[in-house]
Amino acid sequence: MERKSADEYPQELLDLFHEYQHGDIDRRAFLRGATKFAVGGLTVAAIFESLRPNYAWSQTIPKDDKDLKLGYETVPSPDGNGSIKGYLARPAKGKKFPTVLVIHENRGLNPYIEDVARRLAKAGYMAFAPDGLTSVGGYPGTDEKGAEAFKKVDGKKMTEDFVASAKWLKARPDSKGKLGAVGFCFGGGMVNQLAVRLGKDLDAGVAFYGRQAGAADVPKIMAPLMLHYAGNDKGVNDGIPAYEAALKANNKKYELFMYEGKQHGFHNDTTPRFDPDAAKLAWERTLEFFKKNLK
């Protein structure tokens, strides 16, 4: 299927799909709402298919890259769901690495997130991408099923699973003892929460279009933060002013970038919301930030 860009769709339709992806409406409601955009021989089903993720597009680093050591690990999480499985990617050469926890969207450990872990490994990091859906059987193979499974997970226990994953990754014998975290959508919000929970144990946090931590929790944040936001993402962006005010009031180190005119999910290269220029710039900034704080 040919990749389309966000500017080929009305914003109202993109917003409707955003609601569907985040579980605010079901598939039937999306299809019903999308009927008015089905013109000129274009069917609602075709619109739906064109907006869904295509994971063939997400593989920028091959799964058999000879420079990388790749596999799955299971981490104990006694305060969470008992254990959490995840994808571990690291350089094949070298004995110790700075580490980065990679946190998925609200759909589990899909191929896009695994590729992000490989991208970090190519840049010299040991990256671990936990699957928050482990307790309900793991990522089920499609984002639709993933979003459904996500609703069944105990949110508090899943947070503890990510905390356990972060501590496990930082304490590994092949870790240099520096820990970063990067997350997208739900994962971006989780990075903000981990910055609160981990305090000085987190050395750098990067949140892509993630919901903010509460102002009252900001004093607990010790890690420098990099916050990427999309201009067309009102639901998430409404929380920026209070968060930024609290970060400033508490003298926290942070960088905030707004990508005007871009969509929530602009870094995810599997959907039309992907914006190559914004994604490239945000990723370059992220790698520079990690280099400065972790290497």
pLDDT at position 154 is 97
pLDDT at position 70 is 98
pLDDT at position 233 is 95
pLDDT at position 167 is 98
pLDDT at position 39 is 86
Distances (CA, A) of 151 to 83, 126, 177, 259: 18, 30, 34, 29
- Name the 3-class secondary structure at 230: strand
Domain boundaries, the chain: 6-52, 64-294
Q: Residue 242: what residue type?
A: A
Class of domain 64-294 as given by CATH? alpha beta
Which residues in the chain land under pLDDT 50?
A: none
Nearest to 121 by CA among 60, 44, 205: 60
pTM for the model stands at 0.94
Nearest to 181 by CA among 173, 172, 197: 197
β pairing state of 254-263 and 225-232: parallel
Residue 286 host element (H or E) = helix 276-294
